[in-house]
Structure 1
Amino acid sequence: MLKLSKLATAVVLAASAGTIPAIVHAGEVEVLHYWTSGGEAKSAAELKKIMQGKGHVWKDFAVAGGGGDAAATVLKSRVVSGNPPAAAQIKGPAIQEWAAEGVLANLNAVATAEKWDTLLPKVVADAMKYKGNYVAVPVNVHRVNWVWANPEVLKKAGVAAMPKTYDEFFAAADKIKAAGLIAVAHGGQNWQDFTTFESVVLGVGGAKFYSDALVKLDPKAINSDTMKKSLETFRKIKSYTDPASSGRDWNLTTAMVMQGKAGFQFMGDWAKGEFLAAGKVPGKDFLCAAAPGTANAFTFNIDSFAMFKLKSADAQKAQNDLAVAIMSPAFQETFNLNKGSIPVRLNMDMSKFDDCAKTSAKDFVETAKAGSLVPSIAHSMAVSPAAEGAIKDVVSQFWNDDKITVADAMKKISSAAATK
């Protein structure tokens, strides 16, 4: 549970900082989100345009920070103060935690009228519900286990193709390093460390091992030889990053690949939104491939908005219109073309999408059937926020401190996984 009563001090701090806006006006829809980079901001602007077209006043409440941690803190403050936004960007198990607090609105009327149960894959629909009731609306599906590359850097280094295994990846990284360039662009923030780590675990151990270790948090899997190899591989990747990576935002890291300063980046397909926003052409200016060893698996991250209980009938109408707008085919297409993700609706026309997106859409369906579609732990889709945060901290400590042994890291991850 979120234990909202313990956040009273956060409310005082937020109020003194001037971050708690006044009560919303009738017809106004205040949306708390953390889409602040180029491709993301462009996507949010499309939703604003649709809502304004319906006669509503859009109140943008953007909180910077790609992983959403800062936004989550501000949201808690707002809810404790009795002044929640109309909608907030929340996802994964956190949706159910908020619903258990009794603060989320029931969206069943909209969901039934719009036939969400037939438009959404079951794994997605289930994530949007609490005790069988819709309390959130999904926006898109991101594939997390991607590697992005600059083809000119690969050509200069003599790398013929995107690596499919970690042996091939490290051989390519050695060539890029020898060419005087950065092999792996990385932003030293804990969620970026964790994003890379989960792709390594998936690539080294496969989907079943990933599920056992990072979704079920099985102690046997966490303390296995496969986890040992995963941590060793993860640490080796660190040796190909640049010394200035600490604290670097993910979009600035993507820019390093875009500008030809680095060869590869491990990042979800929101990175593609940055390439596209800069006018880059997939297959020509940048390359995409599943992270080494993960071609037949898919780690998903679903952006979604939970709707909070509001008393005003006008505000409730605005919420319902927002939910309908998010799921509309037109918005699903426009938004995902900007964001780099794929539509969450089934049977969407993908003709306007690039080859990276078409591959993602195909793999999403196929991995769902094969049982290798797994939730991203790094992006709050797999475990409780408390366990995720504890494991995330351990992974970053291991990444940043070479004195921490692999054996110690495994023990610490096992302990962190027990966090409630």
Structure 2
Amino acid sequence: MSLNIIDLIKGQLGPAVVSQTASQLGESESGISKAVSGFLPAIVGGIANNAGKPGILDALTGTNSSSLLGNLLDGTSNNSMVSNVLHSIFGDKIAALVNSVATFAGINNSSSTSLLNMVTGAALGSIGKYAADNNLDASQTKNLLEDQKGAVSSLLPAGLSLASLGLGDWGATEDLRAAENVNVTSYDEPKVEVTRGGNTHVNVDTSENDGGNSIWKWLLPLLLLALAAWFLWRQCNKPATESTVTTDSTAVMSDSSAVTAPADTAAMTATKTDEDIDLNGTKIRGYKGGMEDSMIAFLKSDSYKNAPDDAALKDNWYTFDKVNFKMGSASELEAGSMDQMNNLLAILKAYPDAKIKIGGYTDKVGNEPSNVKLSQDRADYIKKWLTDNGVGSQILGAEGYGSQFATVAATASDAERAADRKMAVRFAK
């Protein structure tokens, strides 16, 4: 399967959207995240299993992706197209689905209904946009969707199943149904008898019908116990000097060789918290070792002032930790992005002699000319914003590199490719 649609849609349902939705619905962020994790595979599986219906393909090819993705919660609550798709997929099972996910996530049914509409809108918008960006016709879109069949059961979170969602074996492929109906040969358990004298003995059936399996009923548990004991011994006897080294995901990268971020970026950044960073007596909030902290340290060391020319600076890029554009957009930032934009503005105003260049990057998915244009437009957006806020003379350039420095394969998951989708700045002269 060349594309994981689940990962594609997750890009629209990130932490910022979860936080905003939780606040708007009056629910906890953890509850919203759990509900989304329950709805997402069920909806994708539903669309995939009904890809042959004209109404589904029409909804995808006729979707105004920007309208849906730009206002996921409010824009999908009373959207007739979303409602029609849901009824086409789930029919009379919608109420059971809503109730099951609400119970699983610990949210009320009203919030669960809103999230069902929101996740469906995100799915339609993301798939429709991908099809449009890659010039997929109806037949190719149908094939893309059918590649996702059978994904429901395997991707549902622990605690949810098709049956618990009120879907029965809905969405299961013929291969899956066949596997579930395989008859498994059972073996008699060893018979334990107690004599009148209180002694016990075990009668083990060694007939040919067991095919030699009786001995394994005793040997296998012993082997597993021995393996568990060895593992615990090994864990308890690890050298005291052994430690885990965690690196900061905000790496300085070079024009000629972009640094690859760890595949599990979320795990690396999950423990980061904002701290006070000293900017010549003023406090700004950012990550220790992050973009702001690194830039300020560089300026305070006089390394910028002492650099003889631009060539001495061009390899040191500082990647934004928090500035993210909405999927496919060059003019809409994700919630929380402006905090770091304002921090960069404050740094430039504190060091009026410092000049920068802005770079935009994309992953390897999609048409390269389109990627270059998107990254250029995003770089230009940041340049214009800084210029409009009074530091235009300190911006020496803005360039979009597209996927030129991307290192993650186009076939990787959306989470892995996120390392290549970034905005960065470097000092310039």
Check whether TM > 0.5.
no
Q: Normalising by the residue count of structure 1, what TM-score does the alignment of the two structures yield?
A: 0.24
Structure showing greater Rg? 2
Q: Normalising by the residue count of structure 2, what TM-score does the alignment of the two structures yield?
A: 0.24
Return the structure number with greater relative CO, CA threshold 8 A, min gap 6.
Answer: 1
